[in-house]
Amino acid sequence: MLHNQTRPLHVYSLASGDVCLAQVVARLQGLLPQGGAVALAWEDALLATGCVGHPVGSLTLQEDAGRLLQQGTQSGLAGGRAGEVWTDADSGGRVALIAEVEESWPMPQRQAWLAAARLLLDAVMLSMRQQLRIAGLERSKRLQKALFEIADLAGAELELEEMLAHFHQILGSLMYAENCYIVECDEQQSSLRFLYFADTRDDFVPERERSYRHEEMPGSLTFAVLRQGRVMSGPSRELLKTLDSPQARTQGLESADWLGVPMWRNGSVCGAIVVQSYEIDARYSDEDRALLNFVAKHILTAMDRRAAHVQLERHVQRRTVELERSNRSLQAEVVERRRAEMVQAALFRISELAVSCPSQGDFHAQLHAVLGTLLDAHNFYIAMVNEPGDGLEFVYSVDEKKPRLSSRPFSSGLTEYTIRQRRPMLLMREDIDSLIAAGEVREFGFKSHCWLGVPLMNDGEVIGVIAVQSYTPGSRFTVEDQRLLAFVARNIGASLERQRDRERLLEAHAGLERRVSERTHELGEVNQKLLAQISERMDAEQRLTHLALHDVLTGLPNRLQLQETLEQTIEHARQGIGTEFALLFLDLDRFKWVNDSIGHAAGDQMLVQVAQRLVRMVRAGDMVARLGGDEFALLVHGKGGVEAMLELGRRMLRALEMPMWVEGRELFPSGSVGIALWHPRYGSGADLLRDADAAMYRAKLKGQDRCVVFDAAMHAEAVYRLELEADLRRAIKNDDFVPYYQPIVSLAEGRVVGHEALLRWKHEQRGVLAPGEFLALGEESGLIEQVDWLIYTQVATDLARATQGYVSVNVSPRHFRSPGFAQRLLQLLASAGADPQRLRIEITEMALLEDAPRTLRTLRQLRERGIVVQLDDFGTGYSALSYLHRFPISVLKIDRSFVGGLHAEGSRNTLALVDGVLSLARTLGIETIGEGVETEQQRQTLRQLGCNYAQGYLLGHPAPFETMAQRLQVP
């Protein structure tokens, strides 16, 4: 029997298709003779499968029609039956029609009835298929429209709940969805959160942002969908029976039909969408399940797109804030650079004015105008120390309250106070009143609300003061103004002095002109003498010009002339009218020793001879300049590149190394040379001079008496050193330095008698650093003293905790320059509760060389309190026996270079040297420690030679305090 998968053939729904075919069958039955019956069976891709008959109770005839459809054979027209089976040309479906009639019904009428029935059924079924296709297209159109609306919602500026409400409205246009909710869950499906909830009957209102755990909702169909990851559909009562806990009651009202669809993301259930019906007539079909599953995927995609969109907007907003912050920083930098450019332009203008202004008054007025572009200078004056040095000359004054200031002897005014302090003074009204009350100053004329004065310096001497002041509270000067005026004043002092010299020269010229005119009128016969005086005046002018651009001692061009020549040379090179060139920067090595040992006069003679040697090495068109002190610069033209300049630098050093006689002494000077070659990146001579100076500094670091060419690596190293110095300052602030303790062992007994505290830096990025990686920078920057005191503090604390052995610490020569070093160290030990007799300090021979009397006093103060002094690295310096006799040295440390060479090839001399040092120490009653013991053979040799103690990797590596405590069995 032909049957439908969902219902028997004799059960019919009210579907429009079945009703239409039933009406056609009834019409066909009406065309039969009275008492006839008709049955129709069909199998079609669009119309599905079914049977219908008329009269309605003709079930047997319908079953015959079904069998006829399955067999596919013609039944014929004979007897009491008339039937036919055919295939529809439009859809390929098959149709079976049977009529039960009287046998007397004529054959022609039967044939006519079958033909008419076939035509009518084909037409009706074609119409039904078209209606179904149209309905399918309309459903597809509605679905497509819904998907477009869902996609549009993903990019709409809506809150999540509002967007999900629109999703609900769209879903309602596709199926029955009055009661709908959407949830999301965690990765383990152990909790869920309601994103959206709409129900016409249930009074349950989920809390927003709250997560409901599985234990709170026993028998939840929603959790079943989430955990099983499949679609669940049917009455809620029936679905509950399929759960693992059928005794659990359902959450909410009982549903006539319930449909839940899981939502998947990346292969895992992330949520679900549920619709339910409380009406018996409103049920969900397979099509509704497929539709909800399909729409759920698009809703999840839209939600993900919206979440990504929100995240993108947040990222864009965060990035916008970062860019705005960067923009503000860049704007501040631009303002700062523009201010620096203004200051630089002002300095250049001041230098030009010192040369170009016809009179001192004009120079002062234009100087005032230049300063007015940098700060508020409405009330401004310049005070210079007079020639005798006992008073002030107010060479320029502009003030809204006071008339022109007149010269006066030194008194207790603010100007004199600034000269005495030798530093810039920024004083508010209350500061001035305090100084007046203390008797430091007294005020002349109107009271200033704010006063800013900066001393003018020339060759280390105060020659005057420039000052600005304000009489109103609304106008105040800042610390930035003070720094700016102080920076400008460093350049103004020399310019004012030159301008004053120029004014004196002009006055002298004017006087000379008067004398010449008088003598011309009086003594025409002495014309030759007058010409000689004119020549002398011209020589004086030339000498003054020469002095302004040349070094007084050597006669070489000075820094100013070198700068001017460099600027011209760079400009010519940029225009392509000049040759290639390079700048060589020479600094003499150990020149300070010459001044300190045989005097500054000998040093000047040495500089003169060096200048002469340099001049003999250059060609016409090149320049040799003295920059100051023991620094020289050579501007050399010519091709050949790096190799040629290096060869010139080596020849220069060889020429310097030739001996010279100064003050009856034979000296052998040497130097370090830095070379900077012309490159289009240089915008000024100062940049070229800076890089040559940096290359010279690198040459000194490499051991002096050598040449180095500036390259990009030097710039990178400078940046690295700057960053390392910043890290070092942060590390000092954060106390990131710790002592590592290396044991010192008795060679005779084999036991640990003490430890040496070695500096380590716990760098936040590079780990634990040894001193070799930062000690030079610390010494250069002066930060190493702060680092030392941090270590001394930790050592004192550890020494108080350990009850056995001693600890030795290294003391830099810098500390002996401080008169309070010994007292501070003893106070540190007392505060920590540490015994001074268990602390030893290690010093190098350099500390004894720099200031022997002060060092001796400091060591005696420490020795009086029981602190033992050890001489470190003995044998690598001067190793003068006078140290051992004059200073309270109790222990000698034999340098690791000698210990390491005891058994090397040709070690006989080293062995004899170590034996001699040990014998000397025994004679003087001084203990000895061998450093760097790394082999058993070295330890045995030192023991046989009579060395008392040793330290090295063989005997123990440097380690934190905890390891030292274990060695000494400290609790």
**pLDDT score at 878:** 55
pLDDT category at 77 given cuts 50, 70, 90 is: low
Model confidence pLDDT, tens digit, residues 846-874: 777 777 788 888 888 999 999 999 988 77
Residue 290 has a pLDDT of 81
Give the pLDDT confidence score for residue 247 in this predicted structure.
47
Residue 12 has pLDDT above 50, yes or no: no
Tens digit of pLDDT for each residue in 357-393? Answer: 777 777 778 888 888 887 888 888 888 888 888 888 8
Residue 331 is predicted with a pLDDT of 87
- Answer whether residue 313 shows pLDDT above 90: no
Collect all residues with Cβ–Cβ distance below 8 Å to 936 and sequence separation of at least 6: 954
Enumerate residues 6+ apart whose C-beta is below 8 A from 621: 637
* Maximum average pLDDT range among 173-187, 276-290, 652-666, 938-952: 938-952
d(CA 417, CA 435): 10
Cis bond before residue 55 (omega within 30° of 0): yes
Closest by CA position to 113, among listed 53, 27, 21: 27
Amino acid at 484: L
Q: What is the pLDDT of residues 596-638, one digit of tens each?
A: 778 888 888 888 899 898 888 888 889 999 988 889 999 998 8
CB 538 within 8 A of CB 532: no
Q: To 5 degrees, how large is the angle CA 756–CA 759–CA 763?
A: 150
**How far lies 286's CA from each of 264, 608, 609, 838, in Å?**
20, 109, 109, 92
Amino acid at 931: E
pLDDT band at residue 718 under the 50/70/90 scheme = low
pLDDT in the model for residue 252: 64
- How does pLDDT run across 468-499, given as a tens digit for each residue? 988 888 788 888 888 888 877 776 766 666 66
Query: What percent of the chain shows pLDDT beyond 90?
Result: 15
Rounded to whole angstroms, the Cα distance separating 298 from 758 reads: 68
For residue 11, pLDDT over 50 is answered with: no
Q: How many CB atoms lie within 10 A of CB 274?
A: 22
pLDDT at 880: 56
pLDDT over 80 at 76, yes or no: no
The answer to whether 572 touches 626, Cβ cutoff 8 Å, is no
Element (H, E) at 492: helix 479-522
Q: How far apart, in whole angstroms, are the C-alpha atoms of residue 596 and residue 554? A: 21
Residue of 782, 802, 806, 807 lying closest to 792 (CA atoms): 807
Q: Who wins on pLDDT, 529 or 82?
A: 82
What torsion do the CA atoms of 811, 817, 818, 823 make, to the nearest 10 degrees? 50
The SS3 of residue 932 is coil
Q: What's the start-to-end Cα distance of the chain, in Å? A: 98
Per residue in 634-647, pLDDT (tens digit) is 999 887 788 888 88
H-only helix segments in 1-106: 16-30, 59-71
Q: What is the mean pLDDT of the chain?
A: 82
Instruction: Check whether 7 has a pLDDT greater than 50.
Output: no
Buried-exposed string 901-921: b where 16+ CB fall within 10 A, e elsewhere: bbeeeebeebeebbeebbeeb
Q: CA–CA distance from 500 to each of 348, 422, 551 (Å)?
A: 18, 21, 20
pLDDT class for 765, splitting at 50, 70, 90?
Answer: confident
Is a pLDDT exceeding 90 seen at residue 743? yes
pLDDT digits (tens, 9 = 90+) for 720-737: 777 778 888 888 888 888
Residue 947: the pLDDT is 94
Among the listed residues 688, 685, 750, 681, the one whose alpha carbon sits nearest the alpha carbon of residue 949: 750
pLDDT of residue 175: 83
> pLDDT digits over 676-714, tens only?
998 888 888 888 888 888 888 888 878 777 888 888 777
Phi, psi of 246 (to 5 degrees): -65, -20
Confidence of residue 806 (pLDDT cuts 50, 70, 90): very high
**Rounded to 5°, angle at Cα 625 from 624 and 631:** 115
Residue 523: pLDDT over 70:
yes
Q: What angle do CA 428, 430, 434 make, to 5 degrees?
A: 115
How far apart CA 929 and CA 762 sit, in angstroms, is: 29
Residue 18 pLDDT grade (very low, low, confident, very high; cuts 50, 70, 90): low
Residue type at position 143:
L
pLDDT tens digits, residue range 243-278? 765 544 555 678 889 999 999 988 889 999 999 998
Per-residue pLDDT of 920-932, as tens digits, reads: 888 888 999 999 9
Burial of 240 (0-12, 13-18, 19+ CB in 10 A): buried
The rounded distance, in Å, linking the Cα atoms of 425 and 431 is 10
Of 9-18, 506-515, 521-530, 835-844, the range with the highest mean pLDDT is 835-844
pLDDT, position 823: 92
When mean pLDDT is compared across 47-61, 106-120, 131-145, 693-707, the lowest value belongs to 131-145
Question: What is the reported pLDDT for 73?
Answer: 65
